[in-house]
Structure 1
Amino acid sequence: MATTHDRPAVPAQSAASVIRLLAVRDTPLSLDEVFAAVGDRAAGGTALFVGTVRDHDGGAEVAGLGYSAHPSAEAELRRVAEKVAADFPVRAMAAVHRVGDLSVGDLAVVVAVSCAHRAEAFAACRRLIDDLKHEVPIWKHQQFADGTEEWVGAC
């Protein structure tokens, strides 16, 4: 039985070569586009995260929401992605975030990472979405069914 030690090493790639798709856009997002972007023959694991607009937040019914991005959002997204690529053995990576008005059920963000092994793919994908939410200047404006609204910091 082969062990981890018996596996041949997969050559490291530069951050520029593993980042296959990064975008902040005002058009609907595609799971197929993101999944296709991270396809890699050396990857045995691909992790994909999809963030959707839910129908409630904090006990209040959400009627809709809008996302706004600072002009530096794509550059910050690239910085976050490059850091993840430097910290994990990533084969391919993609991240897209929607801006503009969205309805309940719409895709707001899709990120995917492929690595040689599943544990690495899960960990890198989690870091990518968590860092995107905390560091990329994209803000959410929620409108609630009762007529109230709120702005949420970096999404």
Structure 2
Amino acid sequence: MSNKTPTENIKISIQKSDFSIEKENNFLSNQAPETGAVVTFTGRVREFSEQPDVTGLFLEHYPGMTEKSLKRIIEQAQQRWDIQRISVIHRIGSLAVEDQIVFVGVSSAHREAAFEAARYIMDYLKTEAPFWKKEITRSGEHWVEAREKDQTARARWSAPD
């Protein structure tokens, strides 16, 4: 499938400020009578990860390169599924426990395409986009290494059907 979502229906943002899930849902679904499914994912800072006492995160990115990487991931998803609208937001800077980190939203005529495309985008975002994450804990700070489970999730997309 070589569907190309119009540029005005694609939203990519890397930002320090928080985002509104309601606003993103509206972008994905308003004035879109052909839309049968809207799937969203929101990632948040949790109080545990590599360490049990996480109090926050610090996220950095490579400006320019990160946006290009996200655009490429979206283009790959468009080649696989019939997508109507896409929103990808990733926050950077200092974040506290319970803060929102990332939003991935996809709308499509059918739920299967929306679910699959959203999962694909998130799996590739975790492994291909140049973001660096430092966990802040009560006992200190440390940079988070790439995780094998994220690589395994991404590998599923290149496995033969």
Q: Which range, TM-score by smaller chain?
A: 0.7 to 0.9
Gaps of 5+ in 1: 1-11
SS at match of 2:74: helix
CA distance in structure 1 between the partners assigned to 2:33 and 2:103 by the alignment: 21
CA shift at 1:67, angstroms? 0.6
Normalized per residue, the structure richer in strand is: 1
Q: Residue 41 of structure 1: which of 23, 33, 37 is its match?
A: 33
Matched AA of 1:149: H
Provide the TM-score with structure 1 as the length reference: 0.84
Matched AA of 2:12: L
Q: CA 1:82 to 1:16, structure 2 compared with 1: closer, same or farther past 3 Å? A: farther
Q: Deviations over 1:89-126 (max 9, x none)?
A: 10111100000000000000001001111111111110
SS at match of 1:84: helix
Name the residue aligned to 1:145: 138
Provide the TM-score with structure 2 as the length reference: 0.81
CA distance in structure 1 between the partners assigned to 2:113 and 2:12 by the alignment: 20
Name the residue aligned to 1:66: 58
Aligned length: 144
CA distance in structure 1 between the partners assigned to 2:72 and 2:78 by the alignment: 10
Identity within the alignment, %:
27
- Which structure has the greater CA radius of gyration? 1
Gaps of 5+ in 2: 151-161
CA distance in structure 2 between the partners assigned to 1:148 and 1:81 by the alignment: 32
CA shift at 1:150, angstroms? 2.8
Matched AA of 2:100: L
